Structure 1
Amino acid sequence: MTDAQETAADMPLRTTGGTPPDDGGSPATAAPTPLLEPREGIPPVIADEATLAEVIAAFTAGSGPVAVDAERASGYRYGQRAYLVQLRREGAGSALVDPVACPDLSGLGEALSGVEWVLHAATQDLPCLREIGMRPGRLFDTELAGRLAGFPRVGLGAMVENVLGFVLEKGHSAVDWSTRPLPEPWLRYAALDVELLVDLRDALEKELDRQGKLEWALQEFDAIASAPPTEPRKDPWRRTSGMHKVRRRRQLAVVRELWQARDRIAQRRDVSPGKVLGDAAIVEAALTLPANVHALTALNGFGRMNRRQLEQWQAAVDRAKALPESGLPQPGQPVTGPPPPRAWADKDPAAAARLSAARSAVSALAERITMPQENLIAPDTVRRVCWEPPSADVGAVAAALVGYGARPWQVELVTPVLVKALSGKGA
């Protein structure tokens, strides 16, 4: 993620959600300004408890919202833990905290518990922040705010440029943040990520208020902050890339055994599973069902491995081949909701007609209020309402939406158009 600042609150807001406010600032066509250095320079990395205590005291004494960001090592390390936490608050400046050296940041989290946290794409960072004891009571998500306000591009760099007129350097977003010591250019990038986040928040709050969407956004932010941690995915091995090629149950068992063996090795070595064995190699082994190590060596992804590595993968294949029929996985995951929409026309033509009408109505409404359809109402909620429809009256449809987790603003906007779609009256 990223951020930028500099008295940018006085610059004009450039959006697609209507005419920008006329605040007497620079014209919207002015060239954006590169943001090259944090205002107070690159802060030192906090890597001991004594210095962390000083940071906690400084941020406790600060004022206003606190900008928060986290850097992970996706693609390099196992899991999604945080390897750097960045913060900025008025009166406290910026801080870079090393959660490897300081793994318990609950004291910092508690000091900021009554403060609004500003994050960009909050759902990406909240899980790793929770792991180190940081849980916001209130938050403002600048990425989600951009979606609700109708911006076509909501990445942090695009938002900072379009709203505040600054260009952020994004060259280090995918580096290995578990590297120690962290290079200075990476630390500069990390500090700039929170440099303008509060300014962006303030500008977006004004724009949402201007569009009449601020209350909607606040409801969304509250829902994110109060949401429980996501439950672990059931049968995660089924998400192996290329699984659509695997049809037979014995082959599915090979994918499962290889995936689980890879996961154990990756966790033990603390590396990304893809660095241990690629998905393509797993799928090819499942389709081929190699009889021995020699046959396995001939498959793509296994050729350069040593004998010991090949034997461990062949052992996983052999375990799957030895399973009784009762131990083989079923071809598909248990379906807990409606079938795929492509099957509706055959299974229930009336439901297919309801879904078509509902989708058209929701799409038209989303276009009128300048918002992505998926932020207006979750597509899965629309499918569930159309597959097992309540009676086509306002109260029943509203109750169904609430039951599926829709927020009050969504219920108010979407209920009338769904009632019409369910009753066959169109949008």
Structure 2
Amino acid sequence: MPDTLPPCIFVDSVAAWNTCLEELQQVQQFAIDLESNGLFAYRERICLIQISTHAHDYIIDPLSEIDLAPLVTLIENPKIEKILHASEYDLILMKREHDWDMHNLFDTMWAARLIGYEKIGLASMLNALYGMKIDKKFQRANWCERPLSKGQLDYAQTDTHYLFQLRDDLEDMLAGMGRYDELIEIFEEQAKVRLPDVDFSAEAFWQIQGMRDLTPRGRAILRELNIMRNEIAKRRNRPPFKVFGNHTLLEIADIAPQRMQQLTPITGLRQHNISRYGRRILAAVQKGKKAPIPKKPARIKQHSDAVSARYETLHKWRKAYARQRGVASDVILTRETMWDIAIANPRSAADLSAITSFGPVRRKLYGAEVLSVLRGK
């Protein structure tokens, strides 16, 4: 495979976008990838869309004047295959930002996982199969900044340009292993996007690593500091960790400073931070000192002991079976499916068929063993 890229087509005008759409409406498959600004914004957004056909590589600027609405008919068209690598995050962005539902997906990362590859990043796969070296220095770039450099455009183009060959080679391997039908079932599951809850919770401070080392009063202060940080991050459209790191909040909560001078030695607080936010920090500390001691939310027992025991039995079986096949455990069954099975407590193949998350291909592959394991055999 040649490791030199042909010129890409940058799409930031209505005319260029119409040309791109005309070609996409004629093809049976295209490769697609997204770039976002998750490391630079409070709520990430789609900053770049890369689409490759067998003829052209398009780099589409969604921040320009173009209307992306026509793309939904192509994304949702089951007759057009969409090739992605590591699709989960991109599918979430598409669903959350545009309410697009992907149909006819081929995820080359999942194909690699089903074969048993351990290093499954795109750069690793291109290196393993074709000896290509991909520069990853733009992996953490802010893709919403303009203009984009030549290096960024090359990096973005690489994410889709080689996916056709990778897809075909992985498909051939899986067909030879007799695993292609299993892969298609996985793709159907991947396309069913569940949007994660991204709303801020005042109780999120319980998830900060190191919180348990604080006194009860320190935890009350940490709670107020975390609320303050989120308010600043949201107003400035920055990720919370770019405002203050968790270690900084923990140190402030532990010291509980009362004066501006006490902020200077704190790790992660530079003078400009103190000048800008010092009074808000001290106010949050004072509020935490007066607030009720927070009580950790009680863990709700979601399942009976019998259901949990069945889940653990399935978990152990899955781990052993995956090791035998040389794949990651969730390639065999997802945690969600194992919980569904444990709750249903199936006794027969007919019972298994009623579990919607346990698809027909994997029921055929693993159903008999699952029933045997649940019976203790």
- The answer, yes or no, to whether TM exceeds 0.5 is yes
Query: Are residue 193 (structure 1) and residue 159 (structure 2) matched?
Result: yes
| Worse overlay, 270-279 or 125-134 | 125-134
1:57 is aligned, of 17, 22, 32, to 22
Report if aligned partners of 1:302, 1:310 keep a CA contact under 8 Å in 2: no
1:101 is aligned, of 44, 58, 64, to 64
Report the residue type matching 2:110 in the other structure: L
CA distance in 1, matches of 2:219, 2:336: 27
Query: Are residue 226 (structure 1) and residue 226 (structure 2) matched?
Result: no
CA distance in 2, matches of 1:187, 1:351: 51
| Displacement of 1:251 | 3.6
| Displacement of 1:238 | 3.9
| Displacement of 1:337 | 3.8
CA distance in 1, matches of 2:308, 2:41: 44
Report if aligned partners of 2:220, 2:292 keep a CA contact under 8 Å in 1: no
Report if aligned partners of 1:278, 1:301 keep a CA contact under 8 Å in 2: yes
Report the residue type matching 1:318 in the other structure: Q
Query: Are residue 408 (structure 1) and residue 360 (structure 2) matched?
Result: yes
Task: State the TM-score, normalized to the length of structure 2.
Answer: 0.85
Give the corresponding residue for 1:15: none
CA distance in 2, matches of 1:390, 1:355: 10
Report if aligned partners of 1:362, 1:414 keep a CA contact under 8 Å in 2: no
CA distance in 2, matches of 1:237, 1:352: 26
Q: Which residues of 2 match residues 382-401 of structure 1 at below 5 A?
A: 382=338, 390=345, 393-395=347-349, 398=352
Give secondary structure in 1 for the equivalent of 2:153.
helix
Unmatched segments (≥5 aa) in structure 2: none
Call closer, same or farther: CA 1:132–1:97 in 2, change over 3 Å. farther
Call closer, same or farther: CA 1:55–1:168 in 2, change over 3 Å. same
Q: After superposition, what is the alpha-carbon deviation per residue over 1:328-380, rounded to whole angstroms, capped at 9, x for unaligned? A: 3x3246446459xxxxxxxx6x8887666544422332234332112211246
Q: After superposition, what is the alpha-carbon deviation per residue over 1:25-82, rounded to whole angstroms, capped at 9, x for unaligned? A: xxxxxxxxxx2x322x133x32233322222122223x22110011122322332212
Give the corresponding residue for 2:369: 417
Report the residue type matching 1:184 in the other structure: K
Count of aligned positions: 372
1:255 is aligned, of 202, 222, 243, to 222
Report if aligned partners of 1:75, 1:274 keep a CA contact under 8 Å in 2: no
Q: Which residues of 2 match residues 21-420 of structure 1 at below 5 A?
A: 35=3, 37-39=4-6, 41-43=7-9, 45-61=10-26, 63-91=27-55, 93-102=56-65, 104-114=67-77, 115-130=80-95, 131-132=97-98, 134-232=100-198, 235=201, 237-238=204-205, 241-246=208-213, 250-302=217-269, 304=271, 305-324=273-292, 328=294, 330-332=295-297, 334-335=299-300, 337=302, 357-379=313-335, 381-382=337-338, 390=345, 393-395=347-349, 398=352, 402=355, 405-420=357-372
Q: After superposition, what is the alpha-carbon deviation per residue over 1:384-413, rounded to whole angstroms, capped at 9, x for unaligned? A: 756x6826x23587268x26x333333343
Give secondary structure in 2 for the equivalent of 1:179.
coil
| Displacement of 1:126 | 1.6
| Displacement of 1:125 | 1.2
Give the corresponding residue for 1:28: none
Give secondary structure in 1 for the equivalent of 2:46.
coil
| Displacement of 1:317 | 2.5
Superposition RMSD in Å:
3.1
Call closer, same or farther: CA 1:108–1:418 in 2, change over 3 Å. closer
| Displacement of 1:123 | 0.5
Report if aligned partners of 1:149, 1:371 keep a CA contact under 8 Å in 2: yes
Call closer, same or farther: CA 1:118–1:336 in 2, change over 3 Å. farther
CA distance in 2, matches of 1:308, 1:188: 39
CA distance in 2, matches of 1:337, 1:105: 42
Call closer, same or farther: CA 1:110–1:353 in 2, change over 3 Å. closer
Q: After superposition, what is the alpha-carbon deviation per residue over 1:129-152, rounded to whole angstroms, capped at 9, x for unaligned? A: 331565422211110111012112
Report if aligned partners of 1:397, 1:418 keep a CA contact under 8 Å in 2: no
Give secondary structure in 2 for the equivalent of 1:68.
strand
Report if aligned partners of 1:237, 1:255 keep a CA contact under 8 Å in 2: no
- Counting aligned pairs with the same residue, the percent is 24
Give secondary structure in 2 for the equivalent of 1:51.
helix
Call closer, same or farther: CA 1:202–1:296 in 2, change over 3 Å. same
| Displacement of 1:158 | 1.7
Call closer, same or farther: CA 1:296–1:411 in 2, change over 3 Å. farther
Report if aligned partners of 1:106, 1:134 keep a CA contact under 8 Å in 2: no
Call closer, same or farther: CA 1:333–1:42 in 2, change over 3 Å. farther
CA distance in 2, matches of 1:418, 1:296: 58
Unmatched segments (≥5 aa) in structure 1: 7-34, 340-347
Report the residue type matching 1:302 in the other structure: L
